[in-house]
Amino acid sequence: MAVLEILEFPDSRLRTVAKPVKNVDDRIRTLIDDMFETMYDAPGIGLAASQIDVHEQIVVIDVSEDRSEPLVFINPEISVLDQEIFEYDEGCLSVPGFYETVARPQHIRVKALDRNGESFVMEPEGLLAVCIQHENDHLLGKLFVDYISPLKRNRIRGKMEKLHKQKSS
């Protein structure tokens, strides 16, 4: 397993729309293992393959306190079950150090493949539902900063660009 580099906003590669996984094989399972290691190392509760510059529809999530509930979503399809909106302070491994309130549906249905290519359906609520939607957005080339005002987004962009310049000099 390996800890992979996480792309950071405003990297344009984060805007790439991910393609469906055609075959869940050993390459995909190795990638999933590397994604979990990368996510836990960061540390975070979710990671989309798009964030590590792999533009395939793969998401890993673990919202447990003790890292005991790893979940894999390959080719996720999301539908809203309840129009009730949940506001949550979201952060992102691709926008480290920044948190903003984002409103999302609280109860969803997700249909996906697991790490073995088996189809499953779940109907999460609360934090897990928010996390799945956040990570699925990455697969669509969207970031949580797209939900906030242009002023706040531009301020975050400026701070991130400044940090990237400092790191590279």
Residue 161: active-site member:
no
Can you tell me whether residue 78 is helix, strand or coil? strand
55 annotated ligand-binding residue: no
What tokens does 121 get? 């359906």
Residue 109's Cβ-side half-sphere holds a number of Cα atoms within 13 Å equal to 7
State how far the Cα of 35 lies from the Cα of 37, in Å rounded to an integer: 5
Is 131 known as a binding-site position?
Answer: no
- The token pair at 8 is 């950071």
Q: Which of 8, 56, 100, 135 is catalytic?
A: 135
Residue 71 phi/psi, 5-degree rounding, is -125, 140
Residue 96 φ/ψ, nearest 5 degrees: -60, 135
List binding-site positions for Fe cation: 92, 134, 138
Task: List the catalytic residues.
Answer: 135
List binding-site positions: 92, 134, 138
